[in-house]
Amino acid sequence: MFAIICWRANCRRAGRPEMGEAYMMQRMAFGLVTKALLVSGACVPQIAFAQQPGQTSAAASSDTDIIVTAAKREQRLEDVPVAITAVSGEEVASAGVNNTEQLAQVSPSLFITSSQQVGLGAQIRLRGVGTATGNAGLEGSVGFFVDDVFVGRSNTAFGDLVDIERVEVLRGPQGTLFGKSTSAGVISVFTRLPDFYWGGNAKAAVSNHGGMRASARLSGPIVDDKLAFSISGQVHTREGYVDDVVSGADYNNRNRWLVRGQLLFTPTSEFSLRLIAEQSQRDEDSTVAVFTELSDAQRALIVASGGFVPTPLAGPEQNSVSLNGPFIARTNDTNFSATADWKTAAVDIKAIIAYRDSRARKDYDSDFTSVDLYRQTDDLRDRIFSAELQLSRQTGFADLLVGANYFDAKTDYRVSRRLGSQAGRYFDNLTANVLITPAIFEAGRGLALQDTNQDGEGVSLFTHNIFHISPRLDLTLGLRYQWEEKTGGSTFTYNQATACTITYSGAGSVGANAFLAAIRPASFCAAQTPNFSARYSDDRLTGTAVLSYKLTDNIMAYASFSRGFKSGGINLDPRAGANPRQTFLPENVDSYEIGAKSALFDRKLLLNLAAFTAKYTDFQLNTFDPTAAFVLSNEGSVRSKGIEGDVTVIPFKGLTLRGGLMYNIARYGQDTVNPGLRGNILSNAPKWSGTAGASYETSIGERWSIFGRVDARFQSEILTASNLAAATRQEGYTLLNARLGLRSSDGLEVALFGTNLTDSRYKTIAFATTGGFQSYFGEPRFYGIEVSKRF
């Protein structure tokens, strides 16, 4: 469910385009924005953005309601019986949240990570539940929406947050209004509407690690009160912070840009049409995993094969790798949407049509060592057309809403995986058998092409109705029927090495043949990857029932039940053709929640509490196995139960204190298929997580004010791999962000900022590899200065 916050933001985070072909474009854009800042007198504000005439900033006024559309109609936040974290774009920026991955900094129930698999590596979890990615056939447990449009694959939404109006995190199943793949919750990002007055902003920032961000926005009328436009963009470059000790290259850099154009047409007060076109690109050397454990035998094998291993392995102060080639990750996203709102005497109509085209390419060293063992290329393309129609009507007794949704999704995924120039030497060193020689592992041989595709289509009908039983008692009932069908599969083309097909005879042949049989399931041999095709079809009825009661005008209590699901589908893992079936089951959830929301003392104290329990059945799990890549399974039941709360306090003018806390147990049931998981806590599911922050602003003369903000997020220990290996444990840690600056009454702002100020080193994802473990780590400390100007 969506939330619209009354806070208006006129400045947003900066970013920038990619390097390589776009290097000159980036430099020119950064220079133009910087000149614009100097000409206009400096920079943009951090939280106080331009407001329309008569509008009040919720960040500055304690008596301004926070208005949300959590039920796809406007309501005050404390009137909505759903657990929501609603944050304005300016709050997001001032908290040091520059991109999607950092949103957990403002929501303790949220956990976001990303691995090196471009297009497939995003993991979003709420209340401890999410989907470990790595399979193109999987969908997420947390739905991601941008301007009311569903983003089919979470990784598509990963990027800098630019020109953002608001962000809402909705916890618990949201399937009635948002459909499939929202079994754990929803994240909704809304961009700013065009304005019917001339205005804009520009922003530039520099940071350590050679970071540069620049953004700008311009908006105004084309036809007074009838047609307005806005155009916004950002470029973002930064050196990497993971160093290759052999080549001197750096990884985990930033090299991205985005441009967004909008038109808002309002021919009458009853009708509006909003058109959005957006283009973004990323061209980066990321994301690279580092060794955290490695056996002596594997280290010796790597060295004997011509490789090098950093000594010591990645420790508290070290981000070092030794690879034999670049990690190239490129994405290109093109998005279009049209949203029409029409208010008639009989019914209010809303229609949304959207098309999203996302392309991702990864070219990387898939063995993560300096031995030229394997090289892999992944090409992924997702195309989604969606359309939704909503009809709503308010009567004295009820607020009624019905709707229909249609989607058509296509996925094309192509992979090649070939032996490197030192593969023969590596495998020869694995055995003393004289029949095994480097010559049978020819460089360039292997998987020439895995051609995978999936087409999906679905239709759903839904209704969501709020019945006013009494002036203080409401009953909300919702239902959604959804049908979908998917067809797809994979074909494989191999140019196999001799080692994949040869059979020896004579002296030493028994040992040689046994050795080759053991390594043939590896990805360069065809024996384990037969071609396959499959079809999946399903229909589901989900719903919700909520009883809410206003204890006073500013205190509401509620109890709810929701049933949701995450779509099943076709297993697009390369080894799926060898399985008895190539499809997997949908994941279902029943959730119960009680909560209370309050706005007290003239809105100087906002307090929200919730207790929840959710049971997931046929839980979808994707586990990395170094001998068989990813293994997809339905793993019985999972239960997530806990309590959470958030509070905002304004003790006096200028000072705001905020905090959030969640205690949650997300645990596998005793009916789990894998006995090693039964009764254990899920990966990346901390028992405790919380946020705390404070912001203060005061005048220092007639024109200037000084402001500061500190935000912290902490969590308890977790296991960072789906197989719950003890070596993937991450102890509890805290991330600290801060911002300090000056702001003028005419929109000039200069601020110092820092993220992860304590330079905490923490694993986000870990996985087993041959002879050890490797991990992806979170970003280190970043600090810099930002200048912005509102006009």
What percent of the chain has a predicted confidence (pLDDT) above 90? Answer: 64
Give dist(CA 138, CA 154) in Å, integer. Answer: 11
Contact between 774 and 781 under an 8 Å Cβ cutoff? The reply is: no
What value does the mean pLDDT take over residues 677-702?
95
pLDDT tens digits, one per residue of 575-588: 888 888 899 999 99
Q: Which of 408, 430, 563 is nearest to 486 (CA)?
A: 408
pLDDT greater than 90 at residue 191: yes
- Nearest-angstrom CA–CA distance, 61 and 68: 17
Look at residue 528 in the predicted model and tell me its pLDDT.
Answer: 66
* pLDDT tens, residue by residue, 307-318: 888 876 665 556
CB neighbours of 718 closer than 8 A, spacing ≥ 6?
Answer: 683, 684, 685, 686, 729, 730
Q: What pLDDT was estimated at residue 228? A: 98
pLDDT of residue 78: 83
Q: How far is CA 710 from the centre of its chain?
A: 24
**Mean model confidence pLDDT for the chain:** 87
749, 739 contact by CB (below 8 A) = no
Flag whether pLDDT at 62 surpasses 70.
no
Q: Whole-angstrom Cα distance, residue 273 to residue 266?
A: 7
Closest C-alpha to 13, from 209, 155, 194, 211? 211
Q: Do residues 421 and 451 make contact, with C-beta atoms less than 8 angstroms apart?
A: no
Using CB atoms within 10 A of its CB, is residue 98 exposed (0-12), middle (13-18) or buried (19+)? buried
Q: What is the pLDDT of residue 379?
A: 93
- Residue 489 is predicted with a pLDDT of 95
pLDDT at 645: 95
User: Is 690 in a helix, a strand, or coil?
Assistant: strand
Residue that wins the pLDDT comparison between 664 and 630: 664
Q: Which residues pair with 534 in a beta bridge?
A: 488
pLDDT surpassing 90 at residue 474: yes
Provide φ and ψ at 511, rounded to 5°. Answer: -65, -40
For residue 563, pLDDT beyond 80: yes
The Cα-based distances of 456 to 96, 412, 570, 583, 662 in angstroms read: 38, 12, 10, 14, 37
pLDDT tens figures, 374-383: 888 999 999 9
Q: Nearest-CA neighbor of 426 among 542, 246, 301? A: 301
Position with higher pLDDT, 101 vs 116 = 101
Q: What is the pTM of this model?
A: 0.88
Would you say the C-alpha torsion 137, 140, 146, 150 has a positive or negative sign? Answer: positive
CB 721 within 8 A of CB 766: yes
pLDDT at residue 627, rounded to an integer: 59
Could you tell me the two tokens for 758?
Answer: 């304590």
Q: Which residue has the higher pLDDT, 277 or 369?
A: 277
Mean pLDDT confidence for 78-101? 87
Reduced to 3 states, what is the DSSP secondary structure of residue 298? helix
Q: What value does the CA radius of gyration of the chain take, rounded to a whole number of Å?
A: 27
What would the 3-class secondary structure string for 60-73 be? Answer: CCCCCCCEECCCCC
pLDDT at 637 over 90: yes
Worst-scoring range by mean pLDDT, 86-95, 655-664, 716-725?
A: 86-95
Q: What is the pLDDT of residues 517-555, one digit of tens each?
A: 888 777 778 766 789 999 999 999 999 999 999 999 999
d(CA 124, CA 128): 9
Which class for 306: exposed (0-12), middle (13-18), buried (19 or more C-beta within 10 A)? middle
Contact 86, 80 (CB under 8 A): no
Kindly state the tokens that stand for 634: 């339905």
pLDDT at 156 over 60: yes
DSSP 3-state of 10: coil
- The pLDDT of residue 766 is 86
- Position 64 scores a pLDDT of 58
736: pLDDT confidence band, cut at 50, 70 and 90? very high
Stated length of the chain: 791
Tell me if 281 sits within 8 A of 331, measured CB to CB. Answer: yes
Q: Which residues pair with 489 in a beta bridge?
A: 453, 533
Could you tell me the pLDDT band of residue 116, with boundaries at 50, 70 and 90? low
Scanning the structure block, which residue is given the tokens 């997300």? 666
What is 158-215 written as a DSSP string? -SB--SEEEEEEEES--HHHH-SS-SSEEEEEEEPPP-SS-EEEEEEEEETTTEEEEE
Model confidence at 7, in pLDDT bands (50, 70, 90)?
A: very low
Burial of 188 (0-12, 13-18, 19+ CB in 10 A): buried
